[in-house]
Amino acid sequence: MLQEKLESLVSNNNLVLPEINGEIPHGDMPGDKVEIGEDHIAKANTVIKALVPMMAEQAKAEGKKKMVIAVCGGSGVGKSETASLLSYYFNQNGIGSYTMSGDNYPRRIPMYNDAERLRIYRYEGLQQMLKDGVYTEERFAQLREWQKANEDADKKHVEENAWMESYVKGGRKGLEGYLGTPNETNFAEVEGILSQFKAGKDKIYLKRMGREETELWYSEIDFSEIEVLIIEWTHGNSDYFDGVDFPVLLNSTPEETLAHRRARNRDGAVDSGFTTTVLEIEQELLKKQAHKAKVIVSKQNELLDWDSFKKLMNV
């Protein structure tokens, strides 16, 4: 029984954190590459030590036999790696666990979703220009050249062309109404899976999504021995679905996120203006949802309480 297992780990102080000597099972996103480093291990150790006592307390108070953990955060914080480690740790401590990727549940495959994001940005940008009375055919001719070069979200153009402020403002507003909403993601499907899991259904079909039109299918997963379901997902703490017992936020400041993405690019190039806008909006969503997180860990692997988080993130 989950309650007894968790209480034993807490009362006997016998939580095992085994050494990682090679590959371990990871999330179910097709083609996902999980490369675990020492920083991921340190972060997972911090998270599970904080989680287990909370889980034991909730299991005792509510008699829960199944629990859901969501590992969320922005780009480059190590969601996949940390979630995989947590699941591995639970399994090694006799608590059946499965790692599920929330990235399998957008309404469109990646290339179509990327295209829809860009379509919305550009359409709403033009609409804002019309609304503000700054649209002309001559300006659109210039804008179209920037669009062809994928530079139409670059803020340097705003500095040099005041009318571009309307375009950028409208495009961002359009994205804010799409990113991380039910228009982009099927949150109801995710909630349905969590409901089946908590109801004790032994076998559940989970969605798989690759990058091609024919790469969308379902796999039947045996949950009969699974007591803890871990979702790794940027939107794991969203207000658009229910069923998560313990949201875990792997936090990263905008400066840390930018530094990570610069370091990951071999030529040191900064992201495009459009990608930067998407990341900024996702970061704002994470900040708005952070008050619900049961565990918050900084990039430096420090546990943050709510006041510390607010100070760090200027909430």
Q: Which amino acid is at 85?
A: L
Q: What is the pLDDT of residue 265?
A: 59
**Is 213 a domain residue?**
no
Q: What is the pLDDT of residue 14?
A: 87
Q: What is the pLDDT of residue 208?
A: 95
| Shared domain check, 47 and 33 | yes
**Average pLDDT of the residues in 263-267:** 55
**Average pLDDT of the residues in 200-227:** 96
Name beta bridge partners: 100: 231
| Shared domain check, 114 and 95 | no
- Classify 27 as helix, strand or coil: coil
**Is 67 a domain residue?**
yes
| Shared domain check, 149 and 70 | no
Sequence-distant (≥ 6) Cβ neighbours of residue 112 within 8 angstroms:
none
DSSP secondary structure letters along 273-309:
HHHHHHHHHHHHHHHHHGGG-SEEE-TTS-B--HHHH
Higher-scoring residue by pLDDT: 167, 76: 167
| Shared domain check, 94 and 10 | yes
Share above pLDDT 90 across residues of the chain, in percent, rounded to a whole number: 83
Q: Is residue 160's pLDDT more than 60?
A: yes
Confidence of residue 266 (pLDDT cuts 50, 70, 90): very low
Q: What is the pLDDT of residue 264?
A: 60
**Average pLDDT of the residues in 8-19:** 89
Domain boundary among 159, 176, 193: 176
**Is 219 a domain residue?**
no
| Shared domain check, 236 and 99 | yes
| Shared domain check, 300 and 156 | no
- Classify 249 as helix, strand or coil: strand
Domain around 290: 2-104+225-313
Q: Is residue 131's pLDDT more than 80?
A: yes
| Shared domain check, 68 and 27 | yes
Counting the structural domains of the chain, the total is 2
Mind listing the pLDDT tens digit for each residue in 219-259? 999 999 999 999 999 999 999 999 999 999 999 887 787 77
| Shared domain check, 237 and 98 | yes
As a whole number, the mean pLDDT across the chain is: 93
Confidence of residue 201 (pLDDT cuts 50, 70, 90): very high
| Shared domain check, 136 and 95 | no
**Is 190 a domain residue?**
no
| Shared domain check, 268 and 127 | no
CB atoms within 10 A of CB 254: 16
Confidence of residue 269 (pLDDT cuts 50, 70, 90): low
Higher-scoring residue by pLDDT: 269, 105: 105
Is residue 216 packed enough to be buried (19+ CB in 10 Å), middle (13-18) or exposed (0-12)?
middle
**Average pLDDT of the residues in 132-152:** 97
Q: Which amino acid is at 232?
A: E
| Shared domain check, 69 and 16 | yes
Q: What is the pLDDT of residue 267?
A: 47
CB atoms within 10 A of CB 168: 20
| Shared domain check, 14 and 96 | yes
Q: What is the pLDDT of residue 262?
A: 67
**Is 191 a domain residue?**
no
**Is 244 a domain residue?**
yes
Q: 19-33, 53-67, 170-184: which has the minimum mean pLDDT?
A: 19-33
**Is 196 a domain residue?**
no
For the domain that residue 29 is a member of, what is the CATH number?
Answer: 3.40.50
User: What span, in angstroms and rounded, lies between the C-alpha atoms of 6 and 60?
Assistant: 9
**Is 261 a domain residue?**
yes
